[in-house]
Amino acid sequence: NAGVMQNPRHLVRRRGQEARLRCSPMKGHSHVYWYRQLPEEGLKFMVYLQKENIIDESGMPKERFSAEFPKEGPSILRIQQVVRGDSAAYFCASSLGQGGNTEAFFGQGTRLTVV
Amino acid sequence: AQRVTQPEKLLSVFKGAPVELKCNYSYSGSPELFWYVQYSRQRLQLLLRHISRESIKGFTADLNKGETSFHLKKPFAQEEDSAMYYCALSGFQAAGNKLTFGGGTRVLVKP
């Protein structure tokens, strides 16, 4: 099991472009979480998805950000019309089930730089 | 609202010395507490969780509900313990494994 795979590892976008970040959960995991880490800060929850459903998007900015986890394929975090403030590390985690007794496994992150 | 506070951004200790990373939380219900570690150039990984009450790599953490703390301790630090450490809380709600993280503490163990 290769673990949670995120790509790309590094992404550079100009202001106004779109950024698409991909996350393939661990085999058999149907719960995916996205977190954002701004420089010098801890990870902040963005969104929790199960296959084809958004369960909790309370941490997602109201505009320009969207996430999906289709029946087939990876989870996608999409940022439209990126701005400098979107520059951050974006981490994906997956778990087998829900609840605190089910470990969440993290990917290595995608570092987005907006120039 | 739930919050996790790690007051120290950097802890520098000598090899063999004790190390304690502080973590305080606020949560109105019954929390699940975790410590995650990120070694250089590696992914974030779970170190330990309070419900398992185990010692991993010599680290222990005790949940103190009265003081709302979950401090991480190791009696004799090793150089390989140098890493970023994050305390995290899960509210064990319908929102699954949603974690609230502290700002992290960088531990540097000097030879």
pLDDT digits (tens, 9 = 90+) for A59-95: 999 999 999 999 999 999 999 999 999 999 999 999 8
Mean pLDDT of A12-27: 97
A31 and A95 Cβ atoms separated by less than 8 Å: yes
**Inter-chain touch B43–A104, beta carbons under 8 Å:** no
CA atoms of A21 and A78, how far apart (whole Å):
6
Contact A106 B101 (CB under 8 A): no
Longest dimension (CA), chain A: 41
pLDDT score, position B56: 85
**Rounded Cα–Cα distance for residues A11 and B48 (Å):** 32
The ranges of chain B with pLDDT < 50 are 94
Q: What is the CA radius of gyration of chain B?
A: 14
Per the CB < 8 Å rule, is A100 touching B98?
A: no
Interface check A52 vs B, CB under 8 A: no
What is the predicted pLDDT for the residue at A104? 86
Q: CA-CA distances (angstroms) from residue B3 to A102, B44, B103? A: 21, 20, 10
pLDDT at B94: 47
Specify the higher pLDDT residue, B73 or A100. Answer: B73
Name the percent of chain A lying above pLDDT 70.
Answer: 96
pLDDT of A2 higher than 80: no
CB contact under 8 A, B43 and A43: no
Closest CA to A56 of B33, B96, B30, B1: B96
pLDDT band at A96 (very low <50, low <70, confident <90, very high): confident
Distance from CA of B20 to the nearest CA of A (A): 19
pLDDT at A41 over 70: yes
The answer to whether residues A99 and B92 touch, using CB atoms and an 8 Å cutoff, is yes
Question: In angstroms, what separates the C-alpha of B53 from chain A's closest C-alpha?
Answer: 12
The span from the CA of A55 to the CA of B35, in Å, is: 25
Q: Which residues of A touch B102 (CB under 8 A)?
A: 42
What pLDDT, on a 0 to 100 scale, did the predictor assign at position B6? Answer: 97
